[in-house]
Amino acid sequence: MSESFRQKKFIKRYKRNKMLIKFLQVFIILVLIGIWELLARNGAINTFITSYPSKIFDTIINLFRNGDLINHIWVTLSETLIAFFITGVISIFISILLYRFEIFSKVVEPYLVILNSLPKVALGPVIIIWVGANNRSIILMAVLISVIVSIQAISLGFKNTNKNRIKLLKTFGASELDILRYVVIPSNYGVIINTFKINIGMCLIGVVMGEFLTSKAGIGYLILYGSQVFNLTLVMSGIVILLILSIVLYAIISQIEKHLDF
């Protein structure tokens, strides 16, 4: 058996397994949705509390026809992307400082741990008083929820950079800036992009939590309004929309990762 034949066989088996996994993932979701719909139709579950897929689908379609859906999605999406960008910039900047200055790192790290354990929702009323009941407070809430975890992950990656590569550059007289630019950051592209994958979801969570506190539009507002008027179908519709939105945002970052040369 030739090497090329074995390689083709391996690639074929890999693609087949990948397709099988995708099929099973979609199949499980469809089965669960089907069971949910069937139980609701037969009265086995209380549809006032759980609603059911076809009614949720109709609600989403009606929101789209009324023009409300696009507006709510745009508000939440724009706030999430702004928070995501701010979080990314702050995280990389602070991580560089923590890597570069050892004393600064030792002083700041305990505070990062403490801030990370603090429930950010508790700061909601304070944020509203400081910033105002507007989208800025929502974005700030999202940044606070995601930025500490991001700093910890990226700075840890920077500190775990291959020491031999750093020593080699130092032997050739490279400056600290050169080491940072040509070794530390490039070696952690994978860490940064994986952190961003987590960040996009954390920012979305933060935005929705902020919209619960102060908002007149957005998916979080939609869910909150639905709960206030006891429209559980509207609440479930908002959750489904959030789920789809998070999957799309994660998929976009994954595609960006595939097109970057690490």
- What is the CATH number assigned to the segment(s) 51-259? 1.10.3720.10
Which DSSP string corresponds to the chain?
--HHHHHHHHHHHHHHHHHHHHHHHHHHHHHHHHHHHHHHHTTSS-HHHH--HHHHHHHHHHHHHHTHHHHHHHHHHHHHHHHHHHHHHHHHHHHHHHHH-HHHHHHHHHHHHHHHHS-GGGGHHHHHHHH-SSHHHHHHHHHHHHHHHHHHHHHHHHHTS-HHHHHHHHHTT--HHHHIIIIIHHHTHHHHHHHHHHHHHHHHHHHHHHHHHS-SSSHHHHHHHHHHTT-HHHHHHHHHHHHHHHHHHHHHHHHHHHHS--
pLDDT per position as a tens digit, 37-82: 888 888 777 777 777 788 888 888 888 888 778 888 888 888 889 9
pLDDT tens digits along 156-183: 888 877 777 777 767 777 677 767 777 7
Look up the pTM and report it.
Answer: 0.79
Residue 260 has what pLDDT? Answer: 67
